[in-house]
Amino acid sequence: MKIALIQMRSGTEIAANILAASKAITQAAKAGARFIATPEMTHLLEKDPKALRAKVRPQDQDLGVKAFSTLAADLGVTLLIGSLAIKRPDGQIANRSFVFGPDGLVAARYDKIHLFEAAISTRETYREADTYTAGDTAIIAPVGELNLGLSICYDVRFADLYRGYAQAEVDMISVPAAFTTATGKAHWETLLRARAIETGAYILAPAQGGKHEDGRQTWGRSMVVDPWGKVIAKLDHNKPDILFADIHPKKVASARAMIPAWRS
């Protein structure tokens, strides 16, 4: 199966981000991709809590959910929107992945379980828990005849989530991200390859990249890692772009047969 990862530089205007993502998704579909994935916070990167709360909407009112549902149906593809900021019924905010099937319906959704907390420097600190509410459930989504385990960004540091996906024998695991430049340079590829090796699954990691309107800087370098831990496709920059790769399910079975550590 041919897949595509969309690398973005999302800003603070929802409509502009939806338009940029939609153009890239359409281009990827026209190039033959049947599964297309976007990064974390596809339609809004806004670090100011007050501004964020003013812009988020419930799922049934969110402009991104509506636009990407229609786009998946129009293009006839399975579409993973890495995440959107969604207002929950309790008024809190979820960092939520959506999988839209070729019929445009929501096939699965996943709320980020592990919320980012880091003190990169005295000037760069993050506490997602101050703004977002964590999810508590691992989710597996159908992608044609394959199964996809869902995760988001900081989740990649918590191996237990991925162990569960390996034991469920998923074929692929998504890691849409907005990694900081500092942590990305140090840990991004190492963590992704480790998760592939220990699960025997493809790791699909579409990323945000560059300097964003809200001031943060993200690492980019979207990549696909095969079940043996080999990087088979990678962008070597942090600019908006599209990354293509081919998924071969037999490689999953082969890797797990050779080293069945995932059964432990």
Which residue type sits at 41? Answer: M
Domain count, the chain: 1
User: Is 85 in a helix, a strand, or coil?
Assistant: strand
Q: How far is CA 240 from the centre of its chain?
A: 15
Q: What is the pLDDT of residue 150?
A: 98
Q: Residue 242 and residue 163: Cα distance in Å, rounded?
A: 29
Q: Residue 249 and residue 233: Cα distance in Å, rounded?
A: 16
Least confident of 110-119, 154-163, 196-205: 110-119
CA angle 181, 187, 190 (to 5 degrees): 140
Domain enclosing residue 105, as ranges? 2-263
Q: How confident is the model at residue 126 (pLDDT cuts 50, 70, 90)?
A: low
Least confident of 88-102, 128-142, 172-186: 128-142
Nearest Cα neighbor of 110 from 194, 174, 60, 162 is: 174
* pTM greater than the 0.85 cutoff: yes
User: Looking at residues 40-61, what average pLDDT do you find?
Assistant: 95
Dig out the tokens for 157 from the structure.
């540091």
Q: What is the CATH number for 10? A: 3.60.110.10
Q: Which residue has the tokens 């998946």?
A: 72
Hey, which residues are catalytic here?
Answer: 40, 112, 153
* Mean pLDDT, all residues of the chain: 94
Nearest Cα neighbor of 78 from 172, 184, 207 is: 172
Look at residue 125 and tell me whether its pLDDT is greater than 80: no
Q: Residue 98 and residue 103: Cα distance in Å, rounded?
A: 14
Q: Residue 2 and residue 127: Cα distance in Å, rounded?
A: 36
Q: What is the pLDDT of residue 129?
A: 67
Nearest Cα neighbor of 148 from 165, 126, 124, 136 is: 165
Look at residue 218 and tell me whether its pLDDT is greater than 70: yes
Q: Residues 138, 149: contact at Cβ < 8 Å?
A: yes
For the chain, percent of residues with pLDDT exceeding 70:
94
DSSP H or E stretch at residue 52: helix 49-55
